[in-house]
Structure 1
């Protein structure tokens, strides 16, 4: 049984939740969580938000963003068809972009926490 067989079935509807779309959604949620935590960590390290550890927030952002980007990349690599085929390729690309954005935010927050802390 190949990975491609696990990700989508032939002839799926536009609103059918396939395994590929579910994995892409999970990757996007990880990326968005990473962006949110990264924004908070960046604000914390600049001293704009009360008490909190910006370094741990930056590390969480890096891990969540990297996980979202990797899962999104796997979905894109395993997709056999284009948009609308049920493989989750559009969501995979979105997860890649959002996950990489979270990694950049986490890196900035980590660099700022090292300078200020």
Structure 2
């Protein structure tokens, strides 16, 4: 098949075909989503530990990682071109944003309870 025919076929099919696999645009949002997932786990453990012990360190770690995931998810969401399936990582960025916010809420809940217990 010559290049003119290949160009015609590509133009006829379109360029919006879904992309599978790990592309360079998906690496950053995936790492941010994993950081958000770790933050949610730490926040959940801090909430569980708060009942019987001190979960302050876990809450702080959840808040810090949650903020990192939230900010990086927001940046990746704002800079990603195209929509889902384009290989730009928009889905991972949105997941990182939501997980980061959830982790911040869990960590903040523990910190507020700890503050209320001290007073």
CA-atom RMSD in angstroms: 1.9
Matched, 1:30 2:31: no
SS in 2 for 1:46: helix
Pair member with larger Rg? 2
| Separation (CA, whole Å) in 2 of partners of 1:68 and 1:12 | 29
Report if the CA contact (8 A) 1:45-1:116 is conserved.
Answer: no
Report if the CA contact (8 A) 1:69-1:95 is conserved.
Answer: yes
Structure 2 match to 1:45: 50
Matched, 1:57 2:58: yes
Relative to the length of structure 2, the TM-score reads 0.79
Relative to the length of structure 1, the TM-score reads 0.80
Report if the CA contact (8 A) 2:62-2:104 is conserved.
Answer: yes
Structure 1 match to 2:98: 97
The superposition leaves residues 38-91 of structure 1 with CA deviations (integer Å, 9 ceiling, x where unpaired) of: 0111111111xxx5x411111000001110111111111111111111110011
List runs of 5+ in structure 1 lacking aligned partners: 1-9
List runs of 5+ in structure 2 lacking aligned partners: 1-14
SS in 2 for 1:80: coil
Pairing partner for 2:23 from 18, 22, 33: 18
Say how many residue pairs are matched.
104
Superposition deviation, residue 11 in structure 1: 7.7
